[in-house]
Amino acid sequence: MNNLEFTLLVGLGSFMAGFLGALTGLGGGVVLVPLLVLVFKVDIRYAVGASLVSVIATSSGAAVAYLKDGFSNIRIGMFLEVATTLGALFGAFLAARVSTTSIGVVFGFMLLYSSYSSSKTPVEAPEDTHPDPLATRLGMNGVYPSLSGPKEYFVHRVPTGFGLMFGAGALSGLLGIGSGAVKVLAMDQAMGIPFKVSTTTSNFMIGVTAAASAGVYLSRGYIDPAIAMPVMLGVLTGSLAGAHTLIRTRTKMLRWVFGVVIAALGVEMLYGAFTGKL
Amino acid sequence: MFRKSDWTDQKIEVIIANLLRIGVMSAAVIVLAGGVVFLARHGVQPARYGSFAGEPSNLTRWRGILQAALGLRARGIIQLGLLILIATPVARVAFSVAAFALERDWLYVGVAGFVLMVLLYSLLGSGL
């Protein structure tokens, strides 16, 4: 394969990943690294570096749509970014010290978990209308637009959410993914933040988290321009196309198919790691 | 000077959104331009990325990247676009520090300032 063929094929695959990720809301980052490693035989460190770059592009590109609708909470986001950026630095340092096999194993389990969590219908945590003193002092409680007018919400269990966010950041720095699944766990389940607010705020945070580890990856020489170029352009155009696509009727079916693909990639990744092919 | 009411969260978010869009789009255009040059010069060379070698220092440090890009080297141009992309969220956080200061929310000036320090350490402290 020459560079032209490589660029076109990787660009096409990245476009599909970004398109399906945006359409299903599962994010494309999680399938990118397995695609590069298993199909295109790219070294996992280069794959993670390219994926991180594309995560910044999609998060920042999509933030435009999210920020204007008034759902995202800039204070929750900024406060939790303290945890995710520190976690991301830790993950990036870890990436240089552990073997590619162990990165592959962690990645395989992460894929299986993402697939599992996407198959569940998320249940909104029961509403707690008692303000939490710490969250109140941090100015995190807010108001979001709902069908019946502006609705107040209260944030809870800040330390638990903060701890989980450190984990989400570390996974992001180690695997080059947005780790949306862990972020949702922290914000929806632990902190009791309404869905729309947590999803949009999380998307907003992903770019900053990825930038924290991308700096380390770049200076380590893990970001190769010839690989990152088609990945970044493909994922960006794919996710923009996905966000503007109006055929949303089959989203449920599509989510299911994408979930199965993610699980299959997880098994393949674990198989590759255990047979020493990564 | 600005009164507090001039700087609502909503207004700040719209400015941030536009900042992010400009950053991502200019990065994408530069990466695309570099990609075209790269393929025109190296398109028929074999693609081998299976073994990890690490990048040369002119593609990992911002001075080197800038020099390579100004010298119209294809990989340097792409890397410059990627550097702008990585710097975009950093600029966003820097803007947030200023915005919180205008709102006189000193607690969040501190929070956003800390995030900015972590990001700058990652970008510069690690040798970039």
The verdict on a CB contact (< 8 Å) between B17 and A61 is no
> What would the mean pLDDT of A102-107 be, rounded to a whole number?
93
pTM for the complete prediction?
0.90
Query: Quick check: B96 contacting A, CB < 8 Å?
Result: yes
| A chain contacts of residue B43, beta-carbon cutoff 8 Å | 2-4, 7
**A 132-191 residues inside an 8 A Cβ radius of B:** 138-139
The type of residue at A95 is A
Q: pLDDT band for position B3 (50/70/90)?
A: very low
What would the two tokens of residue A60 be? Answer: 């920042």
Confidence of residue A240 (pLDDT cuts 50, 70, 90): confident
Cβ of B107 and A139 within 8 Å? yes
Q: Is A101 on the interface with B (CB under 8 A)?
A: no
At residue A20, the pLDDT reads 83
Which residues of chain B have a CB within 8 Å of the CB of A214? 86, 122
| CB-side neighbour CA atoms (13 Å) of B105 | 23
Distance from CA of B7 to the nearest CA of A (A): 14
Collapsed DSSP state (helix, strand, coil) of residue B94: helix
Q: Pick from A40, A212, A221: which is nearest to B54 by CB?
A: A221
- Closest CB from A7, A68, A215 relative to B17: A68
Confidence of residue B4 (pLDDT cuts 50, 70, 90): very low
Res B5: pLDDT:
47
Q: Would you call A78 and B86 a contact, using CB atoms and an 8 Å cutoff?
A: no
Give the pair of three-digit tokens for residue A12: 């096409």
Helix (H) / strand (E) containing B128? none
Give Cβ neighbours of residue A122 (< 8 Å, ≥ 6 apart): A184, A188, A195
Encode pLDDT of A116-175 as tens digits: 887 777 666 667 678 899 999 898 998 888 778 888 889 999 999 999 999 999 999 999
CA B105 – CA B99 distance, rounded (Å): 9
Q: Which of A64, A206, A229 to mutate to test the interface with B (most CBs of B within 10 A)?
A: A229
The nearest alpha carbon in chain A to B57 belongs to: A221
Contacts of B55 in chain A (CB under 8 A): 221-224
| Nearest chain B alpha carbon to A60 | B20
Identity of the residue in B55, B78, B85 whose CB atom sits nearest the CB atom of A221: B55
Q: How close, in Å, is residue B43 to chain A by CA atoms?
A: 5
Confidence class for position A237, pLDDT limits 50, 70, 90: very high
Q: Which value does ipTM take for this structure? A: 0.90
Which chain A residues are Cβ-neighbours of B96 within 8 angstroms?
74, 78
Chain A contact present for B106, CB below 8 A = no
Whether the per-residue pLDDT at B87 is higher than 50: the answer is yes
Nearest chain B Cα distance for residue A253, angstroms: 31
The mean of the pLDDT values for chain A is: 87
pLDDT-based confidence at residue B84 (cuts at 50, 70, 90): very high
Q: Which of B96, B108, B119 minimises the CB distance to A211?
A: B119
pLDDT in tens, A49-86: 999 999 998 887 776 666 666 777 889 999 999 999 99
Check whether B127 has a pLDDT greater than 60: no
